[in-house]
């Protein structure tokens, strides 16, 4: 399916993190530690899934991939404002995306796990809307958008699938808005963990145990909380037996308890590219104290 783990670093913007030294010794790439998705599990593949799951489609897909890129922690894939040319699929590792914000630091806008698509929303803008950087060693598939468009000519449904993916993004943003406006710190963090869990599960990884590759600060930034609050809430969860944590490793012990805290079921977050005609949302009422 893949082979040849080409180590590209050709277009390397001035961001090299301190640990980007080439021959650092420890653990060479090629065999990547973390979870890694097969092409058939990747969001990119879903772009042409509707036409059938045959070998031919896989071949079509392979043809649009320009190259793979291997990133180390902190390396930047693209920056906000750069001219848009490619979308990316995460093959292994994880990334965060963020936008610089006025005077104070940045706003983390999302985390991206193996099998997920990156930057499709830049299509309509002509330039990337945010900066993407690796949270850990990661590999990506780059897909030049013009090739994807060509593919769209051959396979009419690809266009529709792109709309679908973007629509899924908007749906996700809606949920984030609810989270920010109506939920306490506790509920936000619970929802965040459930979201991660569901996304791992979706690609075939363990839903109950996974690594948090981002820092507490990043989580807090993303959720609109101070990092101290994130820490305190995590501790609270652990004290209540909802999760157990060792360093950056998290294990969910009481899924239902978390769902109760979050005020929503796990599946309700990130409904990505799944049309459910009749579903009208939650029922579970629970919310400590937050607005009317």
Partner DNA sequence: CGCACGATTTGATGCGCATCAAGAACGCCT
Partner DNA sequence: AGGCGTTCTTGATGCGCATCAAATCGTGCG
Residues interacting with a second copy, by CB under 8 A?
A: 80-81, 83, 99-105, 107, 109, 121-127, 129-130, 159-160, 162-171, 173-174, 176-178, 180-182, 217, 221, 223-224, 226-227, 263-264, 273, 275-287, 290-292
Q: Which does 117 bind (CB under 5 to 8 A by kind): DNA, a second copy, none?
A: none
Q: Name which of 148, 131, 2 is nearest 70 in CA terms.
A: 2
**Is there binding between residue 289 and DNA (CB under 7 A)?**
yes
**CA separation for the pair 52, 196 (Å, rounded):** 29
Q: Name which of 239, 262, 114 is nearest 187 in CA terms.
A: 262
Report the residue number, 40 or 159, with the smaller CB distance to a second copy: 159
- Centre a 10 Å sphere on the Cβ of residue 253 and count the other Cβ atoms it contains: 15
**CA separation for the pair 179, 225 (Å, rounded):** 12
Residue 191 CB, nearest approach to a second copy (Å): 11
Residue 62 CB, nearest approach to a second copy (Å): 24
Q: Is 194 helix (H, G, I), strand (E, B) or coil?
A: helix
**CA separation for the pair 54, 233 (Å, rounded):** 47
* CA count, 13 A, side-chain hemisphere, 143: 29
Starting at the edge strand found earlier in the chain, the sheet holding 106-112 runs 76-78, 131-134, 95-100, 106-112
**Is there binding between residue 276 and DNA (CB under 7 A)?**
no
**CA separation for the pair 78, 80 (Å, rounded):** 7
Report the residue number, 155 or 190, with the smaller CB distance to DNA: 190
Q: Which does 7 bind (CB under 5 to 8 A by kind): DNA, a second copy, none?
A: none
Residue 88 CB, nearest approach to a second copy (Å): 16
Report the residue number, 129 or 184, with the smaller CB distance to DNA: 184
Which member of 77, 122, 185, 196 binds DNA (CB under 7 A)?
185
Residue 217 CB, nearest approach to a second copy (Å): 8
Q: Which does 280 bind (CB under 5 to 8 A by kind): DNA, a second copy, none?
A: a second copy
* CB neighbour list of residue 205: distance below 8 Å, 6 or more residues apart: 35, 114
Site for DNA in 216-245 (CB under 7 A): 216-217, 220, 224-229, 231-232, 234-235, 245
Residue 112 CB, nearest approach to DNA (Å): 18
**Is there binding between residue 288 and DNA (CB under 7 A)?**
yes
Q: What b/e sequence results for 265-281 when a residue is b if at least 16 CB atoms lie within 10 Å of its CB, and e otherwise?
A: bbebbbebbeeeeeeee
**CA separation for the pair 167, 124 (Å, rounded):** 13
Q: Which stretch binds DNA (CB under 7 A): 17-25, 30-38, 51-59, 79-87?
A: 17-25
**Residue ranges binding DNA (CB under 7 A):** 18-19, 21, 24, 184-186, 215-217, 220, 224-229, 231-232, 234-235, 245, 247-248, 288-292
């Amino acid at each position: 399916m893949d082979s040849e783990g080409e180590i590209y670093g050709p277009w390397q913007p001035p961001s090299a993190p301190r640990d980007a030294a080439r021959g650092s010794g420890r653990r060479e790439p090629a065999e990547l530690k973390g979870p890694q998705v097969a092409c058939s599990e990747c969001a990119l593949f879903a772009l042409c899934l509707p036409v059938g799951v045959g070998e031919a489609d896989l071949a079509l897909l392979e043809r649009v991939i320009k190259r793979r890129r291997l990133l180390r922690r902190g390396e930047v894939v693209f920056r906000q404002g750069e001219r848009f040319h490619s979308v990316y699929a995460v093959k292994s590792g994880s990334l965060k995306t963020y936008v610089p914000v006025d005077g104070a630091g940045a706003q983390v806008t999302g985390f991206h796990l193996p099998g997920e698509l990156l930057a499709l929303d830049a299509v309509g803008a002509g330039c990337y809307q945010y900066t993407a950087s690796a949270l850990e060693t990661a590999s990506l598939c780059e897909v030049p958008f013009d090739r994807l468009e060509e593919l769209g000519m051959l396979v009419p449904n690809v266009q529709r699938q792109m709309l679908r993916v973007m629509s899924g993004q908007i749906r996700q943003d809606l949920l984030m808005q609810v989270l920010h406006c109506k939920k306490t710190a506790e509920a936000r963090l619970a929802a965040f963990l459930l979201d991660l869990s569901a996304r791992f599960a979706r690609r075939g990884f363990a839903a109950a145990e996974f690594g948090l590759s981002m820092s507490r600060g990043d989580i807090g930034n993303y959720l609109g909380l101070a990092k101290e609050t994130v820490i305190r809430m995590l501790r609270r969860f652990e004290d209540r037996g909802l999760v157990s944590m060792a360093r950056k490793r998290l294990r969910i012990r009481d899924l239902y308890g978390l769902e109760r805290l979050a005020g929503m079921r796990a599946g309700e977050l990130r409904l990505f590219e799944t049309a459910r005609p009749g579903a009208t949302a939650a029922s579970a009422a629970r919310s400590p104290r937050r607005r009317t």
